[in-house]
Structure 1
Amino acid sequence: MGVEDSGEFCAKKCKVFRALVESYRVCDSAPFVFDSLIVSLLEMNKLDPCIDIVRMLHNRGIIVNVGTCNEFISSALKTRDCFFGYDLYKELFRCENGKLVPNVHVFNDLMLSFHRNGLLDMVEEVWIEMVKSNCEPNAYSYSILMEGYCEEGGLEKAEKVWEELRVKGLNPDVVGYNTLIGGYCRMGEVGKGEELYREMGLRGVEGTRVTYEHLIGGYCLAGDADSVMLLYNDMRRKGFKTDSSTVDSMVRVLCCKRSVSEALEFFKVAMKNADFVARESSYELLIKGLCDEGKTEEALKLQAQMAGKGFRPKSHVYGAFIDGYLKQGNADEAESLRKEMMDM
């Protein structure tokens, strides 16, 4: 039925299972004893015997509860793949003639798994399956669907999902807000992202590090260095840390719209975060900017830090130093570097 069993440790060899089956009628037992066994096996990463057990139980008319099925499918999604988990869902819920009714959590797990694998068409298929099953999606369900549309550039579809969420009377959570804010910012509509951010505040929904990173990324895309720094300072006041991608974008916009010196100071502050790992592109951008301004000594110090992080200088870094030395009138140093570059 859809999913094949390949485990060496099968249910027929499980003494506990055999004992439960043999004593089930005699002891007037209840299905929950099998649920407990299945959950225990899942905790031991024994998925295949669980498949065996559930099939044999269903053949005997014994149905495990929906919570156990959720854990079963969730385990399959983590240890196998999204299609394997979806096949399990169909086997468990479609073949019981309505005796077993799926809840929103199993659909959310399936949609999230397909989304993480970039399979938007399957996310939509699971959504349709959820509607057919008369299962009401929750705010998180809508967030997963919106994120899928946003990542595919389908911002208009995401907006329609957002409106449907509101019509249903659901209160969007921070995940939903972050999803749509991120979609707007990636598409260059950071103003709409800001509107949603302000709405979050009015509704008492606290922004997260992701909220700020989306907005900072949007303003970096727009080249608005002032708004970038305002958001960054607010982010730091709230105790959020920036990742290397955000720092890289900020270094770029500060170099272009303000000054290399300000970008360098910002970079130094970011480097003090023990968890932060600088990107090679950030070093290269700063080194080029310093060399363009004739500040080769500062650029050399930064290049030494860069080498200490395991980044080897590339031809365009050599080119930046060569141009910098030529601007200073130091032709000998420029020629020496040119020869070194040719020997790479």
Structure 2
Amino acid sequence: MSTVGLVVNPTAGHGRGAAAGGRTADALHAAGHDVLHLGAPSHPLAQEAADAAVRGGSVDALVVVGGDGMVHLGVNAVTGTGVPLGVVAVGTGNDFAHAAGLPTGAATPCVDALLDAVTRSRVRHLDAVRVTGPHLPAPRWYAGVLSAGVDAAVNAHANAAAWPRGRARYARSALREIARYRPYGYRVTLHGATAPDGDPPPDVVAGVPLQAEDAPTPGPGTAPLVWQSPGALVAVANGPRIGGGIRIAPDAALDDGLLDVVLAGPLTRWHAATTFPGMYAGRHLHRPGVGTLRARAVTIEATDAGAPPPHAFADGEHLGPMPLRAEVVPGALTVLHPDGNPGGAAR
């Protein structure tokens, strides 16, 4: 018998979360597991409860019920601990679960997949991204995408808006933010950068020359590369999607040990407005002024060459202002998965 910590967002998926949480608890109880309920009146208090349970050794696995916000909570609780994370993805977006190959939407297949993984002790080891910055009291982790451009402004407005629900809210927020956008000032430093196909990086990305940083990286390898320009978009992606299906980095993989970095130069408002809809299918990467690289670590700083960049978001959750450094940690996140390998799951 094992003890499974359970954190539920009761409002996820237009109210599906509460029922899905009850179904998850019942299924775990019926399978012989103890369930430790870690719900709290607010997201920060739930994070504290989950952190304490994992680090105090009170749980053998942590299960979150909801959308990508709950995944973010779980990722910050378990990454690097070896405690597996289970995801019952009944939110409106479910971008992480989709990328991980887990069921999304209806509670029954989500709970069935979780129970299968727990019963057979099946897990997958996925990458997670460690974020540090002078304003962060401690490192933060994310599993999906860090947004630091107009996409972050859209995220902030969508989070604050009460209407409409679901993807329509994100689209409405995009129209508002693009209408008021002007290029932001960026300095982006990339460590271990390559072209998307693994070849050496090109000389120019999104219309901006790449330059070697003055001080080389200690040890073997090439110097970090710097992309400095006014711009519309900087996204540092471990997974391919944001906003419930926007394929901002369509080739990003959760287990390749690399970050997909999407950059857009100083697009006009018209260019931004015509580029953004193509993100749903990943077509923006073929537009002029947009490019992508891969890297192991990325530092994003604000410059006075444009407007101050918006606060960054990761997995749809607020991180804060630049500067920020994001570094991928391969295999740091253990996820309960019915198609995974034996080892580490609650038994």
* Pairwise TM-score range, normalised by the shorter structure: under 0.3
- Name the structure, 1 or 2, with higher relative contact order (CA <8 Å, separation 6+): 2
When normalised by structure 2's length, the TM-score is 0.24
Rg bigger for which structure?
1
